[in-house]
Amino acid sequence: MRALRGLAALTVAGLAVAAVWAGLRSLGFRPRWEVEAPPPRPAPQDVRSRMPPPLSPQAVAPDEPAAGGEGDPSPSGEGRVATYPPARIDFETYGDGRPVRSNAAVAGEWRERGLVLSFESYTADAVLPHVLDAGGYLPPHAPSHALGPPLSGDRGLEVGVIHLDFPGRPRRVAFTLFGPDLIDRFEVIVRSRGERLPPSAADHSPDARYGAAGNADSGKATYNPGGRSLFRAERVVVEVAAGVDRISLDGWGPPGHILLLDHLEIDP
C-alpha cells in the first residue's frame, strides 16, 4: 500500500511538472538545445584568401565568345565556359615555364593551362597541395617532382584530399598516380556538371613506364622505393562527354596514405 501511495504521488508530481512545462512553452519559452544556432560569422579577409577555389568553372558572358572557340554551357547553365588548348603538365615547371620550387604550395600556377589546385583536410590547416621533391617515393628514372599533399615540417606529409579543378571542363584527363600497394584501389572521385560520377568513370591500369613489364605476374606496375614498403604506379584515364569539372584524389583511407600525381594530360 505504501508503494502504491508513493507511485500515485510521483504521478501527480509528474503531471504538475508537465502542466508547468506546457504553460512555459505556450508563452514562447524554448530550451537552449532547441534554439537554432546563429549563423557563423564571415571569415576574415586573410582566411578567405586561403580558401580553396569554387567547384564550378568560371564562365564568360553569354554574348562573349569563349577563348579559342564557342565553348560549352557552364554546369549552372549560365554563359559559356572558356576553352583551353591541350596541356601536358609534368610539375617540373610552372605554367609560365619557370622551374618549380621544391616543397612549395601551388594553386593557380597552371590556371592558363586549364588547371586549378586545392587541398582539403580535417586534420590540417593547409588548403593547398605542394609540388614535392618526391624522389624518395617515385620509381627509378622518374622525374624528381610530383604533385602531392602539403608538407608540414616535422609532421611530414598531411593526409587529405587533393582537388584538381578544370575551368575549361575538358572531355579527357589522364595522369599517373603513385601510392602504397597495400591500398587496393586509389580513390579517384570525378565530378561533371556538379554531379559525382560512379567510380567506373576513372579507368585505372598499370603505368607501363614504371615496371609493369617486370611485374607481369601480378598485373601491377610495382616498385620498392628505398626503405619503404611496396608502391605501385597507375595510369588513370577519365573521359566524360559532358566534360570534367573536378577530380579529387582521396588519401583518407583508412588507412590514410600518400598519393602523388604526375604526367597530367588535359585534352579538351
Q: What is the pLDDT of residues 123-137, one digit of tens each?
A: 889 999 999 999 999
In terms of average pLDDT, the best of 20-34, 50-64, 239-253 is 239-253
User: How would residue 39 be classed by pLDDT, with cut points 50, 70 and 90?
Assistant: very low
Contact (Cβ atoms closer than 8 angstroms) between residue 148 and residue 132: yes
Domain residue extents for the chain: 2-34, 82-267
Q: Which residue has the higher pLDDT, 70 or 256?
A: 256
10 Å CB burial of residue 131 (0-12, 13-18, 19+) is buried
Q: Is 73 helix (H, G, I), strand (E, B) or coil?
A: strand
- At residue 22, the pLDDT reads 57
Q: Averaged over 50-78, what is the pLDDT?
A: 38
Whole-model pTM: value is 0.71
Contact (Cβ atoms closer than 8 angstroms) between residue 187 and residue 201: no
- Give per-residue burial for 184-205: e unless 16+ CB within 10 Å, then b: eebbbbbbbbeeebeeebbeee
* Whether residue 20 has pLDDT greater than 80: no
Q: 139 Cβ partners below 8 Å, 6+ apart?
A: 178, 210, 211, 223, 225, 231, 233
Q: 226 Cβ partners below 8 Å, 6+ apart?
A: 136
Which tens digit of pLDDT belongs to each residue from 188-211?
A: 999 999 999 999 999 999 998 886
User: How would residue 82 be classed by pLDDT, with cut points 50, 70 and 90?
Assistant: confident
**Strands, DSSP E only, in the chain?**
59-60, 72-73, 80-81, 87-89, 104-105, 116-120, 130-133, 145-148, 161-165, 172-180, 187-192, 195-196, 202-206, 222-223, 231-239, 246-250, 260-267
User: How would residue 249 be classed by pLDDT, with cut points 50, 70 and 90?
Assistant: very high
161's grid cell: 584530399
Q: What topology does CATH give the domain 82-267?
A: Jelly Rolls (2.60.120)
* Whether residue 154 has pLDDT greater than 50: yes
16's grid cell: 504538475
Q: Cα–Cα distances in Å, from 225 out to 8, 58, 68, 253, 261?
A: 76, 40, 43, 21, 16
User: How would residue 45 be classed by pLDDT, with cut points 50, 70 and 90?
Assistant: very low
What are 72's strand-pairing partners? 81
Which tens digit of pLDDT belongs to each residue from 94-126?
A: 999 999 999 999 999 999 999 999 999 988 899
198's grid cell: 560512379
* Whether residue 27 has pLDDT greater than 80: no
- At residue 48, the pLDDT reads 32
Q: Beta-carbon neighbour count of residue 132 at 10 Å?
A: 25
- At residue 59, the pLDDT reads 35
Q: Beta-carbon neighbour count of residue 116 at 10 Å?
A: 21
**CA–CA distance, 152 with 25 (Å, rounded to integer):** 52
Least confidently predicted of 5-14, 54-63, 184-193, 204-213: 54-63
* Whether residue 34 has pLDDT greater than 50: no
Mean residue pLDDT across the chain? 78
